[in-house]
Amino acid sequence: MRRRQERRWSGATAGAVLALLVPLALVAQPAQPAQAASRPAQAASRPAPPRVLPGLDPVRLPAGTSPNTLESGNAVRDFGVGGLAVGASLGVPAYWTGSGGARPVVHAVPLPAGWTGGVVNAVNADGLMVGDLTGPGTYAAFAYHKGAKKLTLLPEGQSAEDVNDAGTVVGSDRPYEGGTTGLVWRAGALVRRLPLPGDGATFYHVAAINEAGTIAGQAERVVPGDGSAYERWENFPVVWPAEGSAPPLELSRSGQAGLYDYSQVTDIDAAGNIVGYDWTGPWQEHTPWTWSAPYATVGEAASLPAGTTGATLEAVAPTSGVAVGTALAPGAVEWPYDTHQALYRDAHGTSRLLPPLAEGRTAEAYAVTDASRAGGTARDGEGVAHAVVWRHADRQAR
């Protein structure tokens, strides 16, 4: 199961906006033997770029919507069955059919009046999608079934992060990290408010739910300052076992206690293994992290791709152990702007980089399947962000 980690590291250029006014065409070109023979030998070993998925037509966006050219508005966030991919296009909740091998087709999730954007965060095997809507100064959690004429607003929620194949949806009452209550829905109805560990913990975020009904997320507590230290926020992972089976479990933090040292949780697999990263504040280090069920020991740092100094893990496949995320480009020292590249970690724990669309341009991975199909976002040579799919991430990573 998937959840998305929201980032807005880089801005859009005027050229990017203009380029998005023309729908993207994906036309297979026949091979050119004469040209191929003249290419340098090293080009043959260069990994193929990710497949760009078609974007929505900007003239058909809801009234009041401005095309979103950021990575967050053009990305694959999860995969369903039969080639289904979900996420956002131009800042509007969207899904793609036929993307398993046939020519992809993009579809907009129908928005109720007054709502202008959002994202599909996850989808289950039945085509049930969940995500967030945005409007003028407001947010809402929603559920939507593929091909339906309208979506369902989820009561009291502003963000729906994940859904399992049983149809259980998890989210919170705020759109991003820092909510006040974790929420669980079934069949469009609120059925559970997530309890918290004791000792002054407050809710922070729900990340994902697996097929067993285990929920992963975060809580935090304030540690008062004294004469030698500032007040700080201890942000730590929490596991909520399937409803009614046990109280919530607080896991060990990923890093040392610091003013901005957060243990970010992003996903959980079928066995209960959790991925995420340690974060030390805006523009600072990111250390990929894993917590292994049954959580008898502390978590551990995951490997970094060669030549990189920081990375995140954003998603883990249900059963294979492969994961994807985002790493600093080799040689980069800070996170903002075009300094990040998509990461692929294989089942043995080795991390490598996935090819971008264009050399020197950013790429990020948010979703992965057991068959090593990865999805995310990437900027082309003109700086335009696109939803993309690496169809054989295990072969493409270097």
**pLDDT at residue 198, rounded to an integer:** 80
**pLDDT at residue 1, rounded to an integer:** 55
The dihedral sign for the CA sequence 243, 249, 253, 257: positive
**pLDDT at residue 388, rounded to an integer:** 97
Q: Are 183 and 168 in contact (CB under 8 A)?
A: no
What is the maximal distance between C-alpha atoms in the chain?
Answer: 74
Give CA–CA dist 339/230, Å, rounded. 31
**pLDDT at residue 53, rounded to an integer:** 96
**pLDDT at residue 19, rounded to an integer:** 36
Q: 51-52 and 385-390: which strand pairing?
A: antiparallel
Question: Residue 386 carries which side chain, given as an amino acid letter?
Answer: H
* 19-28, 148-157, 202-211, 308-317: least confidently modelled range: 19-28
Rg of the chain (C-alpha set): 20
* Chain mean pLDDT for the chain: 85
Average pLDDT over residues 321-332: 92
**pLDDT at residue 258, rounded to an integer:** 56
SS3 354: coil
Higher-pLDDT residue of 23 and 83 is: 83
Give CA–CA dist 7/30, Å, rounded. 38
Whether the pLDDT of residue 17 is over 70: the answer is: no
Task: Provide the 10 A C-beta neighbour count for residue 216.
Answer: 30
Average pLDDT over residues 164-187: 88
Q: Are 374 and 364 in contact (CB under 8 A)?
A: no
Model confidence pLDDT, tens digit, residues 37-73: 444 444 446 678 999 999 999 999 988 888 998 999 9
Name the band, by pLDDT with cuts 50, 70 and 90, for residue 226.
low
Model confidence pLDDT, tens digit, residues 284-300: 778 999 999 999 888 89
Give CA–CA dist 146/128, Å, rounded. 6
**pLDDT at residue 304, rounded to an integer:** 94
Percentage, residues of the chain above pLDDT 90: 63
**pLDDT at residue 38, rounded to an integer:** 42
**pLDDT at residue 79, rounded to an integer:** 97
Higher-pLDDT residue of 173 and 28 is: 173
Query: DSSP letters of 142-202?
Result: EEEETT-SS-EEPTT-SEEEEE-TT-EEEEESSSSS--S-EEEEETTEEEEE----SSS-E
SS3 120: strand
Give CA–CA dist 385/378, Å, rounded. 5
Nearest 10 degrees: Cα torsion 93, 1, 174, 265: -130
Q: Which two tokens stand for residue 224?
A: 């008062």
**pLDDT at residue 316, rounded to an integer:** 98
Name the band, by pLDDT with cuts 50, 70 and 90, for residue 25.
very low
- Name the residue with tokens 């309208």: 150
Winning range, highest mean pLDDT, from 90-94, 231-235, 241-245: 90-94
